[in-house]
């Protein structure tokens, strides 16, 4: 029997097609058998059409229809028919018509499903991943994976239009462990040696600049053997790009144009032509994060000016030992309960804060506390928590912070990094709890002027905050050995809605400068040669000044899809634990495979 090929997609037919004889191919979405007349919905990725088998249809046809079950794959031939007015389903795009079947071929049958192919289905992730092919049949997943495809095409369209060349780099490379753990691939031909899967094509794309491909890009798979998160997988995809003879402004311009094209084409959303720039220090001081969600205000403020002489020993102690006190004014939330504040305090403590101090701004009139707190101005007072220490200056403080009656004040006192980070985490939590960010909006920003080095307390040495090939900013170069912590790098992040979307830098192309960086992070020449010798060798042959960036494709699509996990926009993701329930990987291998590779498993640790 010849297969009935489709003439239309399941979401395509409209009232204007009435009278046509058509064939649809798809999956049985639901069946409704009335004994006489029978209906079923036929679905493909484009939509759903109701098929009707009339009461007076041939008994053979009725029999086939009666035997249909969910997710049978079928071909239906029939006549498009306008529905009677009362039967029109305005919730369906095809709701004005139905297909009166004249022939139904069952192309394949389907066993009872582990979960329903339905927007309402909310199966656990491991089950969805085990049966990912079924999960992907849902309209929601179809939408997201197709969005991803659209984004990739928009990226290629824009970058190739800007004279970028797409170059593939190897998936098996030399292990250059510096940041994350490498995934290793044992070599059979050279037992005892290993390839690594790239954490990113970083060194290769820099070498491509030496090669004269002055604008390179690649949709690159990157692998990092670290614990996963909702926005992190063991393997992910970067829109990796690199350019020669550029400053960071040139890189920004390309990415702004690319994002504009992506959002325009894939979502029909118009982004600003340029994104605002926020120095790292300012981002930390105002938002307590180097990837702030700028869709809402709720900014951190400096409380140090009010600490001296307050008599509140905790704050005074922190300030006198060089720390800082940050405050968050939460408008209108003075009715927050102790329990809610304790929950926020737990958030702050997670990030190293010793506590979360609080008080509430109240109108002072009629307040029994007003006299004993010495506030006779009749304006505002600070009520509860640490309020009594600062109530005498309540009006002054409120004015300086822009706070008013009914506001909640939250404080963290600690070293600068902890105080800003911890209160920033509280800000993020409040943003979620109070739903301050409008869904469906996108706020991009460049974070610039990052420190080039960070001090590693555990190992007692400086290390590269980004990577070792990042150019220090001009004004720090001469004296950078004196105070590495003060050096700002020519590196930048692109953030959107509280996520780090991209990270990049202008690279060092001067071997002498590169050697100084190696020395600061404690790399001797031999170590540098062993790890990066091939790059340093390449840089002996006329390397151009260059820089680049690598936006994360998964996070980008996640944000565009309104999801909060990249698993939702990856066709075949791993679980948070790094497992793949569908193919059951990772898995043990045949001892013979190990033998060929010259590997022997260590006994399991007790």
Partner RNA sequence: GGGGGUGUAGCGAAGUUGGUUAUCGCGCCGGCCUGUCAAGCCGGAGAUCGCGGGUUCGAUCCCCGUCACUCCCGCCA
Residues lying near RNA in the complex (CB under 7 A) are found at 30, 32-37, 39, 41, 50, 52, 54-56, 69-70, 83-84, 86-89, 91-92, 95, 98, 112-116, 120-127, 178-180, 199-200, 202, 224, 226-227, 229-230, 232, 350-351, 425, 463-468, 565, 567, 575-577, 579, 581
- Would you call 552 exposed, middle or buried from its count of C-beta atoms within 10 A (0-12, 13-18, 19+)? buried
Interatomic CA distance for residues 572 and 132, integer angstroms: 7
Query: Quick one: 307 or 418, whose CB is closer to RNA?
Result: 418
Residues 580-587: contacts with CB under 8 Å, at least 24 apart: 580/129, 581/126, 581/127, 581/129, 581/130, 582/129, 582/130, 582/131, 582/132, 582/133
**At closest approach, how far in Å is the CB of 98 from RNA?**
5
Torsional class of 584: left (φ above 0), alpha (ψ -120 to 50), beta (otherwise): left
As measured in angstroms, the least distance from the Cβ of 468 to RNA is 7
Residue 580 — φ and ψ, nearest 5°? -120, 95
Query: Helices 248-267 and 553-561 meet at what angle, rounded to 10?
Result: 40
Q: Which is nearer to RNA, 30 or 103 (CB)?
A: 30
Return d(Cα 19, Cα 39) in angstroms, integer. Answer: 19
- Rounded to the nearest whole angstrom, what is the least distance from the CB of residue 605 to RNA in the complex? 8
Structural Rg of the chain based on CA atoms: 31
CA dihedral 563, 567, 568, 571 (to 10 degrees): 150
The nearer residue to RNA, 397 or 550, going by C-beta atoms, is 550
Instruction: Name the nearest CA neighbour of 503 among 552, 559, 469, 558.
Output: 552
Question: Which residue's CB is nearer to RNA, number 374 or number 415?
Answer: 415
In the bound complex, what is the minimum distance in angstroms from residue 123's beta carbon to RNA?
4
Fill in the DSSP letter of residue 91: T
DSSP secondary structure letter of residue 87: G
Q: Can you give the length of the chain in residues? A: 606
Write out the two tokens for 439.
């869904």
**Whether 446 contacts 252, CB under 8 Å:** yes
**Residue 555 CB-density burial (10 A; 0-12 exposed, 13-18 middle, 19+ buried):** buried
**Residue 178 vs 282, nearer CB to RNA:** 178
User: Roughly how many angstroms between the first and final C-alpha of the chain, as a whole number?
Assistant: 62
Residue 311 CB neighbours (<10 A): 11
Cis before 586 (ω within 30): yes
| Joined tokens for residue 239 | 């829109």
Partners of 186 in the beta sheet?
Answer: 194
Q: Which residue, 352 or 406, has its beta carbon nearer to RNA? A: 352
Least Å distance between CB 472 and RNA? 14
Q: Which residues of 369-401 are buried (b: 16+ CB within 10 A; e: fewer)?
A: bbeebebeeebbbbbebbbbbbbbbbbebbeeb
Q: Minimal distance in Å, beta carbon 74 to RNA?
A: 14
At 555 the three-state DSSP class reads helix
**What's the rounded Cα separation, in Å, for the pair 243 and 69?**
56
CB of 110 or CB of 436, closer to RNA: 110
Q: Which is nearer to RNA, 299 or 343 (CB)?
A: 343
Between residues 126 and 308, which has the closer beta carbon with respect to RNA? 126
Cross-strand pairs, 222 = 236
Nearest distance from C-beta of residue 221 to RNA, angstroms: 14
Q: Which is nearer to RNA, 183 or 369 (CB)?
A: 183
Look at residues 75, 126, 129 and name the one whose alpha carbon lies nearest to residue 103.
75
Shortest Å distance, C-beta 125 to RNA: 4
- What is the smallest separation between the CB atom of 55 and RNA, expressed in angstroms? 4
Q: Specify the residue, 38 or 341, whose C-beta has the smaller distance to RNA.
A: 38
Query: Among 566, 502, 490, 440, which residue's Cα sits nearest to residue 254?
Result: 502
The residue among 108 and 577 lying less far from RNA, judged by its C-beta, is 577
Task: Determine the Cα–Cα distance for residues 481 and 462; give it in Å rounded to an integer.
Answer: 11
Indicate the residue among 232 and 264 with the shorter CB distance to RNA: 232
Decide: 476 and 307 in contact? Cβ < 8 Å: no
We find the least distance from the C-beta atom of residue 483 to RNA, in angstroms, to be 19
């Amino acid at each position: 029997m010849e297969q009935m090929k489709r003439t239309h997609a399941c979401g395509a037919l409209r009232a204007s097609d009435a009278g046509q004889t058509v064939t649809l191919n798809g999956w049985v979405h639901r069946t409704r058998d009335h004994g006489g007349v029978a209906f079923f919905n036929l679905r493909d990725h484009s939509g759903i059409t109701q098929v009707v088998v009339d009461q007076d249809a041939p008994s053979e046809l009725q029999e086939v229809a009666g035997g249909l079950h969910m997710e049978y794959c079928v071909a239906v031939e029939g006549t498009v028919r306008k529905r009677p007015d009362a039967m029109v389903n305005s919730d369906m795009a095809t709701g004005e018509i139905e297909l009166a079947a004249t022939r139904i071929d069952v192309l394949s049958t389907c066993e009872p499903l582990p979960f329903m192919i339905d927007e309402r289905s909310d199966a656990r992730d491991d089950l969805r991943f085990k049966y990912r092919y079924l999960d992907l049949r849902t309209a929601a997943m179809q939408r997201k994976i197709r969005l991803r495809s659209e984004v990739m095409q928009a990226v290629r369209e824009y970058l190739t239009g800007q004279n970028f060349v797409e170059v593939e780099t190897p998936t098996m490379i030399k292990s250059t462990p510096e940041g994350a753990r490498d995934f290793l691939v044992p070599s059979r031909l050279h037992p005892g040696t290993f390839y690594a899967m790239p954490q990113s094509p970083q060194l290769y794309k820099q070498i491509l600049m030496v090669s004269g491909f002055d604008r390179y890009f690649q949709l690159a798979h990157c692998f990092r053997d670290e614990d996963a998160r909702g926005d992190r997988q063991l393997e992910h995809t970067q829109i990796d790009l690199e350019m020669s003879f550029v400053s960071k402004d040139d890189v920004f311009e390309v990415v702004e144009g690319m994002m504009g094209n992506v959002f325009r084409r894939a979502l029909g959303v118009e982004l600003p032509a340029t994104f605002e720039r926020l120095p790292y220090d300012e981002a930390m001081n105002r938002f307590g994060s180097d990837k702030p969600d700028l869709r809402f205000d709720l900014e951190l403020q400096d409380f140090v000016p009010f600490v001296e002489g307050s008599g509140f020993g905790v704050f005074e102690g922190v300030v006198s030992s060089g720390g800082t006190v940050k405050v968050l004014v939460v408008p209108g939330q003075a009715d927050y309960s102790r329990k809610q504040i304790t929950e926020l305090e737990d958030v702050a403590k997670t990030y190293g804060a010793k506590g979360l101090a609080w008080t509430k701004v109240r109108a002072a009139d009629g307040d029994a506390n007003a006299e004993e707190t010495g506030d006779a101005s009749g304006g505002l007072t600070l009520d509860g928590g640490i309020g009594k220490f600062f109530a005498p200056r309540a009006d002054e403080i409120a004015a300086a912070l822009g706070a008013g009656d009914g506001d909640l004040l939250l404080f963290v006192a600690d070293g600068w990094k902890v105080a800003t980070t911890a209160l920033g985490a509280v800000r993020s939590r409040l943003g979620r709890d109070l739903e301050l960010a409008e869904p469906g909006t996108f706020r991009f920003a460049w974070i610039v002027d990052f420190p080039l080095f960070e001090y590693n307390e555990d190992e007692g040495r400086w290390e590269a905050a980004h990577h070792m090939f990042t150019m220090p900013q001009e004004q720090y170069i001469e004296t950078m050995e004196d105070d590495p912590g003060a050096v700002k790098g020519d590196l930048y992040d692109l953030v959107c809605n509280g996520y780090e979307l991209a990270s990049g830098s202008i690279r060092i192309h001067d071997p002498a400068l590169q050697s100084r960086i190696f020395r600061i992070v404690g790399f001797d020449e031999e170590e540098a040669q062993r790890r990066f010798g091939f790059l340093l060798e390449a840089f002996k042959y006329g390397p151009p000044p260059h820089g680049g960036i690598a936006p994360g494709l998964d996070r980008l699509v996640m944000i565009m899809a309104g999801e909060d996990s990249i698993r939702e926009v990856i066709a075949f993701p791993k679980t948070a634990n790094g497992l793949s329930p569908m193919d059951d990987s990772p898995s043990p291998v045949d001892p013979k495979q190990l033998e060929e590779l010259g590997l022997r498993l260590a006994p399991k640790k007790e």
